[in-house]
Chains A and B, each alone.
Chain A
Amino acid sequence: MDEKNYGPVYAQDFTFGLTEDDKLLLDCGRKLGPVNIRFETYGKLDDKKSNAILILHALSGNAHVAGYLDGDKAKIGWWDNMVGPGKAFDTDKYFIVCSNVIGGCSGSTGPRSFNPESQNPSKIYNMDFPVITIADMVRAQHRLMKHLGIEKWLSLAGGSMGGMQALEWAVSYPEAVNSVMPIATTSRLSPQSIAFNWVGREAIMRDPSWNNGNYDIAKVPESGLAIARMLGHITYLSDESMDKKFGRELQEIKSYSFDFKHNFKVESYLKHQGEKFVERFDANSYLYISRAMDYFDLSERFGGNLEVALSQVKSSFLVISFSSDWLFTPEESLKIVEALRVNSIDVTYCDIKSIYGHDAFLLEVDVLGRLISDFLKCRYEEIK
């Protein structure tokens, strides 16, 4: 057993928006409610409530960031090597919160949730669910923060889409954020990423089982969602890491089979990733969350000027990219860094040398861990 594991952890729920006034007003103009937020917490909030850190998950993540869910050792958190006693996010020192985004499918309100006002017999939102944005996700997290009695986060951290939420927090709630760690992310989704998301959604929506989103739990659009995931996975790796991990090696066979079954290791890997994903993720959630990423452009409501967008920010930053990440490139991180420096905001930037591509934020634990743990230590000492 991993002695540094946090151990058993249990999911918690917070529901709001039961009355018209309390509903969540979204960027699209619609109101969402009731809203449930599924979250987990680790460690203890200190007397001054100054050690709270919010970890924000990526597209396919969830609230279960570390430890064993319900004490089940098979249910290990998605960033367990970073969060726990003595780890970068030290649960002996900090109070860590991680919540599932709205629109998700791991406990928080999303397209497959019960819709009290639904006209259709299933009473499930499906495509009646409003199109949400990264800012909407953050608004819902802000409600959770108030519910937990926290006034200011010591830090916010997230990779990929989690980094977008972290950036959005710093802009939307500058007073509530002491420091931010956007990792392997961007201030605006590039046309290339929008293009990948489009193809992923097309695969889902053209799957006959999708049925305009009204699929039955027994007959979900498996092939569409698996294709979307396989496509996604290619963008999370790099040419070099694929070459190292798979090469041109064959899987389970000694020579080419001269048909179209999976021959190569890389093919079986993708097939496996697709199949595994279908078991734990929902197709409609994939549509909504990927759309939220498409719409993310931090500078948009500031006339397209990122420097202006970041001018009211009151937090210090640790921006991290990975040298082989071609989905959210180091150049995109550097744009954030430059805009912060123009505003005289304390910013540290490191482009970690790695061959793992975008996935590096889950794999480069040593360097990433040192950066995060030292950065947090300094921030915590500053306010103590």
Chain B
Amino acid sequence: MTQKIREKLLKRPDILVIADIIPQNSRILDLGCGDGSLLELLRKEKNVYGSGIELSQAKILDCVSAGVPVVHGDLNKGLKELPDKSFDYVILSQTLQAVERPDQLLDDMMRVGKKAIVSIINIGYYSARFQIMFRGKMPVTETLPNHWYDTPNIHLGTVCDFRDLCREKNINIISEIPIGEIHEKLLASIWPNLFASTCVFVIE
């Protein structure tokens, strides 16, 4: 039954990586949970207590249809109403770059969760670098399909940038899982900042 959800998520390998990291029976909070696929998968496969936060009314309807508890809310307003360490894992997948203050949201995630899992879109990916370097234009890639003027991604960074931010905030990176495209997996694992289009970080 969960096979269907996994198939739907093939386009989002970072989410599948996150799903495999989460232990059985944990309490998780998925920020910007979209149509609730990850939560649906984890509730079915790992019996987690999971809930999501989502801004879009249309996506909330999808979550309800999938039987996933979701709360209508704006991540830019922070998580202040949630108590400290009330979740085992707080998840944020490919969304950090789209919030107004990624640093403040990260603080909030570390407060609310015992651990957090963040997947970032890596603007240091070689194809993005080449587009800037040789075409002299802001990159448009599969993970970054928008133009510079209409993109919701207002705070793009690289794998190295994220590591720096964690160091500055005394956040410990427990593990780092670079995700490469099909023929670049080996390169991505060796040189994530150049060859990983996205990267999953488990932090505490």
Chain A residues close to B by CB (< 8 Å)? 316, 318, 334, 337-338, 341-342, 344, 346-353, 367, 370-371, 374-375, 378, 381-382
| Chain B residues, Cβ within 8 Å of A342 | 82-83, 86
B64→A341 contact, CB < 8 A: no
Q: Which of B75-94 contact A (CB under 8 A)?
A: 81-83, 86
Contact residues in B for A337 (Cβ distance below 8 Å): 71
Are B82 and A348 within 8 A (Cβ)? no
The 8 closest A-B pairs by CB, nearest first: A378-B67, A374-B65, A346-B69, A349-B71, A338-B81, A374-B64, A348-B69, A351-B72
Give the contact-size bracket for chain B. Answer: 20 to 34
List chain B residues, Cβ under 8 A from A350. 57, 60-61, 64, 72
Complex Cα–Cα for A237 and B27 (A): 40
**What separation, in Å, do the CA atoms of A318 and B65 have in the docked complex?**
12
With a cutoff of 8 Å between Cβ atoms, the chain A residues found around residue B82 in the complex are 338, 341-342
The verdict on B38 contacting chain A, using a C-beta distance below 8 Å, is no
The answer to whether A349 and B72 touch (CB under 8 A), given A338-B82, A342-B83, is yes
Asked if A348 meets B61 with Cβ closer than 8 Å, knowing A338-B82, A342-B83, the reply is no
CB closest chain-B residue, reference A349: B71
CB of B51 closer than 8 Å to a CB of A: yes
Query: What residues on A are CB-neighbors of B86 within 8 Å?
Result: 341-342
* Cα of A375 to Cα of B57 in the assembled complex, Å: 15
Whether B64 and A352, one on each chain, are in contact in the complex, defined by CB atoms closer than 8 angstroms, is no
Establish whether residues A318 and B64, one from each chain, have CB atoms under 8 Å apart when the complex forms: yes
Evaluate contact between B67 and A344: CB separation under 8 angstroms: no
Contacts of B71 in A (CB 8 A): 337, 341, 347-349
Inside 8 A of A318's CB, which chain B residues have their CB?
A: 64
How many pairs of A and B residues are in contact by the CB < 8 Å rule?
56
| Contact call B83/A346, Cβ cutoff below 8 A | no
Interface residues of B (CB under 8 A from A): 27, 49, 51, 57, 60-61, 63-65, 67-73, 81-83, 86
Bound-state Cα–Cα, A381 to B65, Å:
12
Docked-complex contact B81 and A352, CB < 8 angstroms: no
Residues of chain B lying within 8 A (CB to CB) of residue A351: 72
For B81, give the chain A residue with the smallest CB separation.
Answer: A338
A338-B81, A344-B49, A346-B51 as given contacts; A371 in contact with B61, CB under 8 Å: yes
Interface of A is mostly: helix
Asked, given contacts A337-B71, A338-B82, A353-B57, whether A348 binds B63 with beta carbons under 8 Å apart, the answer is yes
Provide 20 A-B residue pairs closer than 8 Å at the C-beta atoms, listed in order of the A residue: A316-B69, A318-B64, A338-B81, A341-B51, A342-B83, A344-B27, A346-B49, A346-B51, A346-B69, A347-B71, A348-B63, A348-B71, A349-B72, A350-B72, A367-B57, A370-B61, A370-B64, A374-B65, A375-B64, A381-B67
Cβ distance A340 to chain B, nearest Cβ, rounded Å:
9
Question: What's the minimum C-beta distance from B119 to chain A, rounded to whole angstroms?
Answer: 24
Q: A346-B69, A348-B71, A374-B65 are in contact. List 13 more A-B contacts (CB 8 A).
A: A341-B82, A341-B86, A342-B82, A342-B86, A344-B49, A347-B69, A348-B64, A348-B68, A348-B70, A349-B71, A349-B72, A371-B61, A374-B64
**Which partner residue on chain B sits nearest A337 by CB separation?**
B71
C-alpha spacing A371/B86, complex, angstroms:
27
Interface centre among B27, B63, B69, B73 (most CB of A within 10 A): B69
- In the complex, the answer to whether A347 meets B51 with C-beta atoms within 8 Å is yes
Tell me the complex Cα distance, A334–B81, Å.
Answer: 10
Shortest CB distance B63–A (Å): 7
Q: Which residues of B contact A367 (CB under 8 A)?
A: 57, 61
Residue among B68, B71, B72 with the highest chain A CB neighbour number at 10 A? B72
Closest Cβ of chain A: how far from B69's Cβ, in Å?
5
Inside 8 A of B64's CB, which chain A residues have their CB? 318, 348, 350, 370-371, 374-375, 378
**Complex formed: what's the CA distance from A190 to B71 in Å?**
23
Nearest residue (CB) in B for A348 is B69
Q: How far is the CA of A178 from the CA of B100 in the complex (A)?
A: 39
B61: A residues at CB distance < 8 A: 350, 367, 370-371, 374
Residue of A337, A348, A374, A382 contacting most chain B CB atoms (<10 Å):
A348
A295–B61 Cα distance when bound, in Å, is 34
